[in-house]
């Protein structure tokens, strides 16, 4: 998942989206071999730590500089205006601003000091307000509107910038435009409060040892305990998935699901519903029927009707696949409980784990012993290097916001040219964002000094090393790591000349394409071998028979997981395609029963923690399914040529990853594939006959 980028970009997985072993030398790592990733000394790519009180001062300076730069552009006499001192200057000023403030925004999600986190979270609202007001400035628009581009690249930049101004409402009179800006600023405040509530959530459940019967010792070791011996379990990803996968007690799983679906419900539901009402009003003021129409205008899908037709066409094939899976799971449940007549929501993950263990003869604990985090990282970066002709080196002793954070430098293999930097912050801690997300922090762009190196950070939550073992990853966690690394390659390999068009600053329903393609690499047999190595001896890769069983098991559950993605997509579209008050919980409950085939848990307040809706994916969640179509076309091309084929990898790098938003997504895809993508690869991936 990608975070929202205030002049036009991203928040985020489903979140779904699911994400590096201990630092070299961390206690508990049993591997005696030297780390495979080489280390290097290099200048720090950005400011990576802040003291309390520092962020507000630095942010004010950045905003003042940007405003002065915009004023200077607007004040240029008409006869003295050129493309360079207007459009190109705007791109420079806005990118200078975002390069300065994105690292501050990141601190709201990761910094160990609560005051710094609070200040970082406040940046999101300030950025949104400033950007909204900037793109509503008539004097800036007037300075750009009559500028004539000299090249195709300049035309692309001008057209994208003008479109952002025009969608802000410059066709309105001043009074109505001011009202729209006021409503958008209120929406930004609601989104900031919603996300701050989630980031500060401390939901914790207490379970006895018997209530957690079935959980492996490795999972139990990750929980703290009370003086009376009960286990403290949070709703963070590692805790939640362990309970839902392994707890034999149905009531335990039910309590876990209920807690996860109730997070910040009383606070966040009203914030979300007010935001939806305001979005409706903004859309109508701007001349659109609905917020969905407004958001999708200019994206690959084109309009909301096309999105709804696409989603509705998936209902029947997804339902058929899900019902076949549920029939299998109900048989298992009835073996455990002969009186059972149906499945409950909290059964699915647990019964799926039993099915895979029995059908394919392996357990997650057995498999993950072959995937210590450092070995997976080594293998992943080797894939990067093989495909894209680059070199990845770990930076020795970087200045970072927490000792767990690691920093990697990427350079071109051919001539050593610096390409970019990647931070990895992948262990849970108090107050930190508790799922998986990638942040673009510094934009790649062409400057007078050469090409500026982009910087990104992946934030995740893997179980830290424990009981004498390094961090060991399940296949689902490896999938998540590859997903986020797919975003990273999109952001870091960019060579787009303009900051506002570089990296994953692309059409919203194209943004998840590289990430959803790269996650499929892990199920190629040669790739799985290359990222494996037993934690006691990295030379012992996963046995071929076990590997093949793991790969064979990957398809079971796709009916449910993609039905869930369809549910979230339609939930979002329904919220943003209606008029009047929206009962977000009722709509979710109705869609849950229709698309998952089982009722939502009683008392659910799921919309309160569906952060995509208040983080840039509003009327955009469908992009995961839309992009998966494109992703599977890309995967098919690589599967035909070889998943680590350098020629194909370099073609993909040049035609898609490097170009950012320098062309429409369909142009990029067609250039790589040699033809327009079709939906057939998605159906083959899901095992659906059409």
pLDDT (mean) for 147-173: 95
Tokens at 268, concatenated: 């966040």
For the segment 248-291, what is each residue's pLDDT rounded down to a tens digit? 999 999 999 999 999 999 999 999 999 999 999 999 999 999 99
Q: Taking a C-beta distance cutoff of 8 angstroms, is the pair 471, 491 a contact?
A: no
pLDDT at 306 > cutoff 70: yes
Above pLDDT 90, what percent of the chain? 87
Q: Which residues pair with 372 in a beta bridge?
A: 472
Q: Taking a C-beta distance cutoff of 8 angstroms, is the pair 286, 653 a contact?
A: no
Give the pLDDT of residue 42. 53
Tokens at 339, concatenated: 């009186």
Q: Are strands 39-40 and 390-395 parallel, antiparallel or unpaired?
A: parallel
Cα-Cα-Cα-Cα dihedral sign, residues 105, 108, 113, 116: positive
Average per-residue pLDDT for the chain: 92
Give the pLDDT of residue 140. 96
Orientation angle between helical segments 475-492 and 373-388, nearest 10 degrees: 40
Q: Taking a C-beta distance cutoff of 8 angstroms, is the pair 483, 519 a contact?
A: yes
Give the pLDDT of residue 4. 42
Phi-psi region of 298 (alpha: psi -120 to 50; beta: other; left: phi over 0): left
Q: Taking a C-beta distance cutoff of 8 angstroms, is the pair 263, 235 a contact?
A: yes
Give the pLDDT of residue 24. 27
Contacts 24+ apart (CB under 8 A), 650-653: 650/387, 650/388, 650/389, 652/387, 653/387, 653/388, 653/389, 653/493
Q: Are strands 204-207 and 39-40 parallel, antiparallel or unpaired?
A: unpaired
- Alpha carbons within 13 angstroms on the beta-carbon side of residue 621 total 27
Q: Taking a C-beta distance cutoff of 8 angstroms, is the pair 170, 140 a contact?
A: no
pLDDT at 9 > cutoff 60: no
Which helix (H) or strand (E) segment is 459 a member of?
A: strand 455-459
Out of 107-111, 344-348, 405-409, 434-438, which region has the weakest mean confidence (pLDDT)?
A: 434-438
Give the pLDDT of residue 1. 67
Q: How far is CA 603 from the centre of its chain?
A: 28
Q: Taking a C-beta distance cutoff of 8 angstroms, is the pair 447, 424 a contact?
A: no
Residue 404: how many CB atoms within 10 A of its CB? 20
Which residues, at least 6 apart from 520, have a Cβ–Cβ distance to it below 8 Å? 631, 632, 635, 685
Give the pLDDT of residue 3. 61
Give the pLDDT of residue 16. 32
Out of 213-222, 436-445, 474-483, 630-639, which region has the weakest mean confidence (pLDDT)?
A: 213-222
Give the pLDDT of residue 218. 83
- Match domain 54-198 to its CATH number in 1.20.1250.20, 3.40.640.10, 1.20.1050.40, 3.30.1490.70: 1.20.1050.40
Q: What angle do CA 504, 654, 629 make, to 5 degrees?
A: 55
Which residues, at least 6 apart from 594, have a Cβ–Cβ distance to it below 8 Å? none
pLDDT (mean) for 166-193: 94
Rounded Cα distance, 668 and 255, in Å = 46
Eight-class DSSP state of 149 = P
- Smallest CA-to-CA distance from 178 within 146, 141, 209, 132 is with 132
pLDDT at 29 > cutoff 50: no
Rounded Cα distance, 73 and 95, in Å = 15
Cα dihedral 88, 93, 94, 98 in deg (nearest 10): 130
Give the start-to-end residue ranges of the domains of the chain.
Answer: 54-198, 202-262
Tokens at 677, concatenated: 């993508």
- Smallest CA-to-CA distance from 241 within 47, 54, 436 is with 436
Give the pLDDT of residue 38. 60
pLDDT at 509 > cutoff 60: yes
Rounded Cα distance, 484 and 17, in Å = 8
Above pLDDT 70, what percent of the chain? 94
Rounded Cα distance, 5 and 659, in Å = 18
| Residue 625's pLDDT band (cuts 50, 70, 90) | very high
- Smallest CA-to-CA distance from 201 within 242, 250, 240, 247 is with 240
Which residues, at least 6 apart from 17, have a Cβ–Cβ distance to it below 8 Å? 1, 435, 436, 437, 480, 483, 484
pLDDT at 511 > cutoff 80: yes
Please give the C-alpha separations between residue 469 and each of 146, 336, 352, 405, 540, in angstroms, as whole numbers. 64, 33, 27, 19, 16
Give the pLDDT of residue 43. 64
Residue indicated by tokens 């073992």: 469
Cα dihedral 425, 97, 92, 181 in deg (nearest 10): 120
Please give the C-alpha separations between residue 362 and each of 191, 221, 359, 573, in angstroms, as whole numbers. 43, 21, 8, 39
Residue indicated by tokens 């709804």: 308
Model-level pTM? 0.90
pLDDT (mean) for 428-448: 93
Rounded Cα distance, 459 and 46, in Å = 17
| Residue 435's pLDDT band (cuts 50, 70, 90) | confident
For the segment 183-224, what is each residue's pLDDT rounded down to a tens digit? 999 999 999 999 989 988 889 999 999 999 999 988 898 899
For the segment 121-156, what is each residue's pLDDT rounded down to a tens digit? 999 889 999 999 999 999 999 999 889 999 999 999
For the segment 66-120, what is each residue's pLDDT rounded down to a tens digit? 999 999 999 999 999 999 999 999 999 999 999 999 999 999 999 999 999 999 9
Residue 688: how many CB atoms within 10 A of its CB? 17
Out of 23-37, 207-221, 360-374, 458-472, which region has the weakest mean confidence (pLDDT)?
A: 23-37
pLDDT at 8 > cutoff 50: no
Q: Taking a C-beta distance cutoff of 8 angstroms, is the pair 573, 619 a contact?
A: yes
- Percent of the chain that is helix, strand, coil (3-state, to 5): 55, 10, 35
pLDDT at 39 > cutoff 90: no
Give the pLDDT of residue 327. 97
Rounded Cα distance, 447 and 339, in Å = 70
For the segment 334-347, what is each residue's pLDDT rounded down to a tens digit? 999 999 999 999 99
């Amino acid at each position: 998942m990608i975070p929202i980028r205030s002049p036009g970009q991203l928040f985020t997985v489903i979140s779904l989206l699911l994400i590096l072993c201990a630092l070299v030398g961390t206690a508990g790592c049993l591997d005696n071999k030297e780390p495979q990733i080489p280390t290097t000394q290099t200048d720090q790519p950005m400011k990576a730590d802040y003291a309390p009180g520092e962020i507000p001062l630095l942010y004010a300076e950045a905003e003042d500089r940007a405003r002065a730069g915009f004023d200077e552009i607007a004040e240029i006499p008409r006869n003295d205006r050129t493309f360079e001192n207007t459009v190109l200057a705007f791109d420079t000023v806005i990118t200078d601003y975002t390069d300065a403030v994105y690292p501050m925004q990141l601190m709201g999600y990761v910094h160990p000091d609560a005051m710094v986190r609070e200040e970082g979270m406040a940046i999101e609202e300030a950025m949104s307000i400033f950007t909204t007001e900037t793109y509503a400035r008539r004097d800036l628009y007037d300075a750009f509107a009559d500028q004539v581009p000299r090249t195709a690249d300049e035309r692309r930049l001008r057209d994208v910038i003008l479109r952002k101004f025009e969608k802000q409402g410059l066709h309105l009179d001043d009074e109505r435009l001011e009202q729209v800006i006021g409503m958008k600023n209120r929406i930004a405040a609601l989104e900031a409060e919603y996300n701050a509530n989630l980031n500060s959530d401390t939901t914790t459940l207490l379970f006895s040892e018997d209530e957690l019967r079935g959980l492996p010792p490795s999972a139990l070791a990750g929980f703290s305990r009370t003086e009376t011996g009960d286990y403290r379990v949070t709703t963070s990803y590692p805790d939640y998935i362990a309970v839902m996968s392994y707890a034999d007690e149905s009531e335990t799983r039910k309590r876990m699901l209920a807690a996860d679906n109730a997070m910040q419900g009383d606070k966040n539901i009203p914030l979300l519903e007010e935001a939806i009402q305001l979005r409706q009003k903004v859309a109508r003021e701007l001349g659109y029927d609905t917020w969905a129409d407004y958001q999708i205008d200019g994206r690959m899908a084109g309009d909301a009707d096309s999105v709804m037709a696409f989603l509705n066409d998936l209902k029947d094939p997804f339902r058929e696949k899900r019902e076949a899976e549920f029939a299998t799971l109900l048989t298992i449940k009835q073996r455990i409980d002969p009186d059972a007549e149906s499945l409950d929501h909290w059964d699915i993950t647990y019964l799926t784990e039993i099915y895979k263990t029995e059908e394919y003869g392996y357990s997650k604990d057995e498999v993950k012993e072959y995937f210590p985090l450092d070995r997976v990282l080594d293998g992943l970066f080797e894939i990067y290097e093989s495909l894209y002709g680059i070199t990845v080196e770990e930076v020795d002793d970087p200045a970072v916001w927490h000792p767990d954070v690691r920093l990697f430098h990427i350079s071109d293999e051919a001539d050593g040219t610096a390409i970019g930097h990647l931070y990895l912050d992948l262990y849970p801690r108090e107050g930190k964002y508790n799922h998986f997300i990638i942040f673009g922090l510094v934009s790649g762009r062409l400057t007078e000094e050469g090409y500026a190196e982009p910087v990104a950070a992946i934030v995740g939550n893997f179980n830290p090393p424990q009981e004498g073992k390094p961090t060991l990853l399940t296949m689902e966690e490896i999938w998540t790591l590859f997903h986020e690394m797919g975003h990273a390659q999109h952001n870091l390999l960019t060579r787009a000349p303009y900051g506002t068009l570089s990296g994953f600053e692309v059409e919203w329903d194209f943004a998840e394409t590289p990430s959803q393609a790269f996650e499929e690499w892990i199920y190629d047999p040669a790739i799985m071998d290359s990222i494996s190595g037993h934690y006691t001896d990295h030379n012992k890769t996963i046995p071929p028979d076990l590997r093949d069983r793991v790969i064979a098991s990957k398809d079971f559950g796709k009916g449910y997981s993609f039905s869930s993605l369809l549910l979230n997509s339609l939930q979002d579209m329904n919220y943003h395609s209606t008029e009047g008050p929206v009962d977000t919980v009722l709509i979710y409950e109705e869609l849950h029963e229709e698309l998952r085939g089982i009722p939502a848990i009683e008392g659910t307040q799921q919309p309160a923690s569906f952060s995509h809706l208040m983080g840039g994916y509003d009327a955009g969640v469908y992009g995961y399914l839309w992009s998966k179509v494109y992703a599977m076309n890309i995967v098919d091309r690589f599967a035909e040529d070889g998943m680590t084929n350098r020629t194909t990898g370099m073609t993909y790098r040049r035609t898609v990853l490097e170009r950012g938003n320098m062309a429409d997504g369909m142009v990029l895809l067609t250039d790589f594939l040699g033809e327009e993508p079709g939906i057939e690869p998605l159906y083959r991936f899901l095992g659906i006959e059409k």
